[in-house]
A = this chain, B = another copy of it.
Amino acid sequence: MSAEIRVRRRVAFSETDAAGIVHFSNYFRYFEDAEHALWRDAGLSIHPESAEIGWPRVSASCEFHRPLKFEQEFDVSVRIAELSTRTITYAGEIARDGEKIATGTWKIACVSKLRDGTMRSVEIPAAVAERLQPPS
């Protein structure tokens, strides 16, 4: 069980742009992938096949300190900064060789899908909250 995770990965060519560096939008994907790994590490999936609830983003922000280039390896660290009754706030950091590359924070909300396709905020199921709870 864990409320924190670190994942090592490598820049793919399709993630770079004509400036020769990783396109900034991909940092949000790096953070999301690590977030989902944190869920798996806790024995959960954020999007199981027949889920009745979902976890859309409420907000996401990132500061970009240094660029990443093709084939560079880097570490993505993600931890749960706050676990409220209906939302989860994460804090993340991307680093390479001890240098900060990017810092991010984002919030997801637990929602149930209504018949008409709209989403309604609901409480996070206890079975999920327990597993994601930071160790005290």
Chain A residues proximal to chain B, CB less than 8 Å: 12-14, 16-21, 23-26, 28-29, 32-33, 36, 40, 45-47, 49, 54, 56-64, 67, 69-71, 117, 119
Which of B29, B63, B70 contacts A14 (CB under 8 A)?
Answer: B29
Could you tell me the distance in whole angstroms from the C-beta of A86 to the nearest C-beta in chain B?
15
A17 lies within 8 A of B25 (CB): no
Which of A13, A20, A21, A46 has the largest count of B CB atoms less than 10 A from its CB?
A13
B18 lies within 8 A of A25 (CB): no
Which of B25, B47, B57, B64 contacts A29 (CB under 8 A)?
Answer: B25
Q: How far is the CA of A59 from the CA of B28 in the complex (A)?
A: 12
A56 lies within 8 A of B18 (CB): no
Chain B residues lying within 8 Å of A69, measured Cβ to Cβ, are: 18, 49, 117
Nearest opposing residue in chain B for A24, CB measure: B57
Could you tell me the distance in whole angstroms from the C-beta of A93 to the nearest C-beta in chain B?
14
Chain B residues lying within 8 Å of A46, measured Cβ to Cβ, are: 13
Q: How far is the CA of A16 from the CA of B36 in the complex (A)?
A: 14
B60 lies within 8 A of A67 (CB): no
